[in-house]
Structure 1
Amino acid sequence: MEATQIYSSPQIESVYLEQRKVFLWGEVNDNSARYLIDRFLYLEAVDPTRPISLYIHSPGGSTYAGLAILDVMNSVRPPVYTTCLGMAMSFGAVLLLCGDKGNRSAYPHSKILIHQPHVMGEFKGPAEDIRIFAESVKREKDLLNEIMANATGQPLDRIVQDTDRDSWFSAKEALKYGMIDKILGAGIEENESSNRF
C-alpha cells in the first residue's frame, strides 16, 4: 500500500474524529474550509461540550475561506484548541492565534508568519473599480489587524507595524508575543506566564 493511501485511510480519519482531532494541512482554500467546517459542525452535534483540537501546518491562502473557518470556530459551542506543527503562515497563523485562550500551542521548531493580506495576480479595469477594490483590501487588512490585536493582547499599532511586512516568529517568540499559550514536545512545556515581555 502506498504512503498516500495509508495517509488518507478512512480508518485513520475515523480514529482522529473519535478523538476530536481535525487537521489543516496545506492551503487555506474552499476545499480545506469545507473540510474543517464540516468537522467542526459534526463534532459539535456529537458533543457540544468536549473540546475540538485543530492541528495546523499551513502556508495560508484565501482570506475569505479563512474567515469562513474562523466564523464557525467562534460560533460552535465546543472550544477549539489550536496547535502549530511546522508552520502557520498568513491565515494559518490567524487561525492558530484565534484558538481557545490558554489552549493555543506550538511545537518547538514551528515557524509562524504574520503579514498584511496579499493581492494575487493582476487586477485590471476602470479606475473607479480599482479604487473600490483597493478600499476592499484595506478593509480586510484593518479587520485582520483587529482580530490579531484582540487575540494576542498586543496594541493595534504594534500589529499594524508588524504586519506591514512579513514578520516571522519562532515558537518562543510567538509565546512572548501572545500568539500561543504554550510550547509542546520532547518533555518540554513552556507557558505564557513565564515568557511575557
Structure 2
Amino acid sequence: MPVGIPKVPFLIPKDEAATWVDIYNRLHRERCLFLCQPLDFEITNNLVGLLVFLTREDMTRNQFLFIHCRGGWVLCGMGLFDMMRGVPPYVFTLSIGLAYSMGSLVLTGGEKGERIAFPHGRVMMHQPISSYIGPEIGEVYGEGDEFLTIRNHVIHLYTQTTGHTFAVIYRDIHRDGFMSPKEAKDHGIVDAVGLDMPLGKWQKMRLFRPALPPGYVWELGGSWRKEESDEISSDH
C-alpha cells in the first residue's frame, strides 16, 4: 500500500480492477462527510459541493456529517445549514468531539430525530462576534444594523431546531453556554447521546457481535450488505 495519505482500494463501476483512492474519497462514496476544522469558505464550498453531487448521484441514500468543529464564519454556517435542509436525502449529524459556535448550529441543523452527540463531546452556543476597524465611524452604524439582522437570523434558526422561543435562545446565547451531550439533548440541540450505555454493556455487545458471511460488510446503524470486490487485480 502506498505510504503517506491513507489510501484504500476502490472498484469504480464498469472498471475491471480496483484502484487506490484517498480514504476520505472512499468514505464520501458511503455518504460519510466530515467537518473537522473551523468553518471557512473553502470547507463550506467543499461540503456544499459534496451534498449536491451525492444527492444527484443517488437521492435515496441518507448522508452522515461527522462534526468536530470549534466554530467559524457565521455566513458559512448558515449557508451549510440551508443546504443540509435543502437536499432531498436526510442529513444525519454526529458530534464526535467539539461542536462550538457555528459547529453547534450545523449540529442542530441535521434531520430531526437523527442528531447525535457522542458521550465525551462538548457543545457550546453563543451569539455571533464581530469586529470593525476602519476610518469612518458612520460605517459602524450601518454595518451594526446588518450584524443585528444576522444575529436575529441565527436565533431564529435555533428556535426552529430546538423548539424554544426567541426569548429563551436570546438569553442562552448572550454568553458562552457550554453543555455536555446530555445537557445538549435536554436543550433540544441533539436528539440522542451516542453509545449512551455503561461501558461494560457496550463491550459485551461488541464481544457477541455476530460474524458476517464472507463478502458482507457492516454499515452505519448496525445493518449489513454484500460488498463488491475491492481487491487489487494481480493480472498485469
Q: TM-score, normalised by structure 2?
A: 0.74
Q: Is the 8 A contact 1:123 1:130 kept in 2?
A: no
How far is the alpha carbon of 1:123 from its aligned partner?
2.2
CA distance in 2, matches of 1:65, 1:139: 16
Runs of 4+ deviating beyond 4 Å: none
Residues 46/180 of structure 1: CA separation in 2 closer, same or farther (3 Å cut)? same
Cα distance in structure 1, aligned partners of 2:168 and 2:123: 17
- Which is further off, 67-76 or 51-60? 67-76
Within a 5 Å distance, the mapping from 1:103-114 to structure 2 comes to 103-114=114-125
Give the distance between the partners of 1:186 and 1:157, measured in 2 at CA.
31
Structure 1 residue aligned with 2:129: 118
Separation (CA, whole Å) in 2 of partners of 1:141 and 1:18: 36
SS in 2 for 1:83: strand
2:49 to 15, 38, 43: 38
Cα distance in structure 2, aligned partners of 1:72 and 1:79: 11
Distance 1:31 1:165 in 2: 28
C-alpha deviations, 1:44-71, integer Å up to 9, x for none?
0111121110010001110111122112
Aligned residues: 185
Say if 1:134 and 1:39 are closer, same or farther in 2 by CA, change over 3 A.
Answer: same
Residue number among 74, 83, 94 corresponding to 1:83 in the alignment:
94
What CA deviation, in whole Å up to 9, does each residue of 1:137-189 have, x standing for no partner? 1111100001001100112111000100100110000011111011113756x
Does residue 6 of the first structure (1) align with residue 6 of the second (2)? Answer: yes
The counterpart of 2:144, out of the listed 120, 134, 151, is: 134
1:131 and 1:182 map into 2 onto residues whose CA distance is: 42
Which secondary structure state, in structure 1, belongs to the residue aligned with residue 22 of structure 2? helix
Q: Secondary structure at the match of 1:117?
A: coil
Per-residue deviation, 1:125: 3.2
Aligned to 2:167: 157
- Does 1:73 pair with 2:92? no
Q: Cα RMSD over matched residues?
A: 1.8
- 2 CA distance for matches of 1:57 and 1:94? 12
Whether 2:103 is the aligned partner of 1:96: answer: no
If the length of structure 1 is used for normalisation, what is the TM-score?
Answer: 0.88
Q: Does 1:49 align with 2:60?
A: yes
Higher helix share goes to which structure?
A: 1
Distance 1:36 1:175 in 2: 25
Q: Is the 8 A contact 2:6 2:22 kept in 1?
A: no
CA distance in 1, matches of 2:106, 2:26: 23
User: Is it true that 1:182 corresponds to 2:192 in the alignment?
Assistant: yes
Could you say which residue in structure 1 is the equivalent of 2:207? none
Secondary structure (helix, strand or coil) at the match of 2:56 reads helix
Partner of 1:193: none
For residue 6 of structure 1, report the CA deviation from its aligned partner. 2.5
Show structure 1 runs of 5+ residues with no match: 189-197
- Letter paired with 2:180: S
Give the share of equivalent positions with the same residue, in percent.
26
Note the C-alpha offset of 1:102. 0.4
Distance, in Å, in 1 between the alignment partners of 2:83 and 2:165 is 26
**1:29-58 CA-partner distances (Å, limit 9, x unpaired):** 011101101110111011112111001000
